[in-house]
Structures are given as structure tokens and as C-alpha cells.
């Protein structure tokens, strides 16, 4: 009576072992594409003027507001909405003038793409236009010379 | 009292013989190579499309091949296509292709360890839609 019982146990153990053996195994494969935006214009320059269509000359006798802009290209992960941080004003300094006088310029920006990113590969550029303005009230009594300033524009994520 | 016992014992022997015969018969068609362990997920690192580069992820799996002289032949298929294998976006009809390879790590015969490695090319996610992607990969070993 003992041997049949042992036999049954042995068969059950054998069958149980087989349930773990298979020629197939299922594996989940996962990845996440993160949202990111980057500028692709290395050193954009805003030349502010009220004379002609190029250069950076301001005629202080003019009543026309001096304006200039720079097109800054950027790319974002496909379907990612960019957020820009652009300063509202920047101070321009005449480094070569006696007393290093300054002039404030107001800064605005327009996201020409006005939408989500298209990807970060070639040909997927969007454009942020940054505009600087100096009003006649600011430049009409300014000392002659070249005025420069620096601002930082940031895009996230 | 002895007769029934002997009879039952003989019945047990017949069962054993049948079991052996069944096992021998099944052996003709049995897999020589099988998985010893279940697979674990293959999770790629976060994909930054602004710095696209080739990325890999892998996991190890146990394989039993008998006789030990056998080397398994691997096959792979995916829930979102097999040529190429693709991960699907969680909510959109967007895909990222990937490739899979199996390489021997250690062991032999009944106790082999293999590494399954997934590879993603930067060019395949530089313009990919933001979000999570996944696939169910089925790995097969033969014979």
C-alpha cells in the first residue's frame, strides 16, 4: 500500500516541474520620451534702430521709436508646449562714453510657432522673436556712442 | 489479504510503465530548450530627443537546453509588430521601433543564463511624440 502512494507523489512532482518550462516567455518593453525644449540659435543679437532697415543706429532727433528684433530658433519634443522666460527690460550701457551712461530698452517676445513642438530633429524648427524698443523720450538726450546689454532668454521644459 | 495488495501494486507498476511510455512518447516532440525563469521588464532609460543617441536595456533569463550540446535558436515577436519590433505610445498611434538580441552569459545545459538586450537608435526617437511607450515582447527558444 505504500509504494503506489509514493508513485503518485513522484508523478505529481514531475508534472509540477513541467509547468515552469516553456519555449516562450513574455517580456514587457518600456520607454519614455521626455519633454524638452532647446534653442538652436547660438548668439542672437537684437539691433535696435530707427534709421534704415539694418544696422543699429538711432537718430536722437527722430520721434520714431527705435526697434529691433532677433529670431531665435528652438525645437521641442514632439507635442511639447514650450514656456519662455523673457525679461521685460534690459539696460544698455555705453562702455566707451564718459560716465558710461545707460538707456533702458523694453523687451517683448512672440512665439511665431505658437504651438507645441514638432520634434528635435533637423527641419523641426520653431521661432521665438524677441523685440527690443527704446522710446524717443529715452534716447533724445542720450550721449552719442554704442550701447550694449545682455539678457538671458530661457525656454522650458 | 495479500492478493489485493499485490494486485494494487501491480496496478501501480502498470501506471508507472504507462507514465514512462507517455514520457518517452512525449519526448519525441518535446522542446529541448525551454525557459527556466520568467522574464523581467526591459526598461529603457529616459529618452531625451534633444540629445538622441543609441540606448540599450537588458534583462537576464534562465534557459534549459538538453542535451547540453544544444544551443537555442531565438525568435522574437511583438504585440505591435515584429518587423520591426515597435513600442506603442500609451494613448496615440505613435510607435518607436527597436531591435532585440540574445547573448549567452553563463552556465550550460540545464542551467544557462542568457541576456536579452533591446536597442533604440537616436534617429528613431528624435522626433517621437512625448510620453510613455511600451510593447509586449515574446521570446521563443527552439528546438
Q: What is the pLDDT of residues B75-87, one digit of tens each?
A: 999 999 999 999 9
Contacts of B138 (CB under 8 A, 6+ apart): A24, A25, A26, A27, B76, B77, B78, B79
Alpha-carbon gap: A34 to the closest alpha carbon of chain B (Å): 6
With CA atoms as reference, the chain A residue closest to B92 would be A79
Closest CA to A132 of A89, A74, A103: A89
Enter the pTM of the model: 0.79
Is residue B69 within 8 Å of B111, Cβ to Cβ? no
Alpha-carbon gap: B87 to the closest alpha carbon of chain A (Å): 7
Q: Comparing A105-114, A127-136, B14-23, which segment has the lowest mean pLDDT? A: B14-23
Interchain contact, A25 vs B38, CB within 8 Å: yes
pLDDT tens digits for range B84-112:
999 999 999 999 999 999 999 999 999 99
Give CA–CA dist A147/A93, Å, rounded: 5
DSSP for residue B47: B
Top residue of B19, B121, B126 to mutate, by most chain A CBs within 10 Å, is B126
Amino acid at each position: 500500500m505504500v509504494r503506489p502512494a509514493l508513485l503518485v507523489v513522484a508523478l505529481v512532482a514531475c508534472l509540477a516541474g513541467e509547468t515552469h518550462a516553456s519555449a516562450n516567455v513574455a517580456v514587457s518593453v518600456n520607454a519614455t520620451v521626455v519633454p524638452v525644449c532647446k534653442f538652436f540659435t547660438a548668439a542672437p543679437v537684437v539691433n535696435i534702430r530707427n534709421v534704415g532697415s539694418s544696422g543699429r543706429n538711432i537718430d536722437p532727433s527722430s520721434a520714431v521709436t527705435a526697434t529691433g528684433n532677433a529670431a531665435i530658433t528652438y525645437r521641442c519634443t514632439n507635442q511639447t508646449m514650450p514656456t519662455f522666460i523673457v525679461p521685460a527690460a534690459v539696460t544698455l550701457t555705453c562702455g566707451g562714453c564718459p560716465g558710461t551712461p545707460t538707456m533702458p530698452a523694453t523687451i517683448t517676445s512672440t512665439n511665431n510657432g505658437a504651438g507645441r513642438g514638432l520634434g528635435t530633429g533637423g527641419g523641426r524648427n520653431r521661432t521665438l522673436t524677441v523685440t527690443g524698443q527704446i522710446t524717443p523720450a529715452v534716447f533724445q538726450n542720450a550721449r552719442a556712442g554704442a550701447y550694449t546689454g545682455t539678457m538671458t532668454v530661457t525656454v522650458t521644459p | 489479504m495479500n492478493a489485493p495488495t499485490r494486485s494494487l501494486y501491480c496496478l501501480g507498476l502498470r501506471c508507472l510503465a504507462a507514465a514512462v511510455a507517455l514520457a518517452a512518447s512525449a519526448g519525441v516532440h518535446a522542446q529541448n530548450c525551454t525557459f527556466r525563469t520568467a522574464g523581467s521588464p526591459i526598461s529603457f532609460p529616459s529618452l531625451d530627443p534633444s540629445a538622441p543617441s543609441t540606448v540599450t536595456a537588458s534583462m537576464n533569463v534562465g534557459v534549459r537546453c538538453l542535451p547540453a550540446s544544444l544551443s537555442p535558436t531565438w525568435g522574437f515577436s511583438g504585440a505591435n509588430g515584429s518587423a520591426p519590433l515597435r513600442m506603442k505610445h500609451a494613448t496615440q498611434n505613435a510607435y518607436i521601433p527597436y531591435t532585440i538580441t540574445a547573448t549567452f552569459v553563463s552556465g550550460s545545459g540545464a542551467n544557462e543564463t542568457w541576456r536579452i538586450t533591446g536597442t533604440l537608435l537616436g534617429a528613431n526617437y528624435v522626433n517621437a511624440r512625448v510620453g510613455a511607450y511600451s510593447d509586449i515582447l515574446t521570446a521563443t527558444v527552439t528546438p
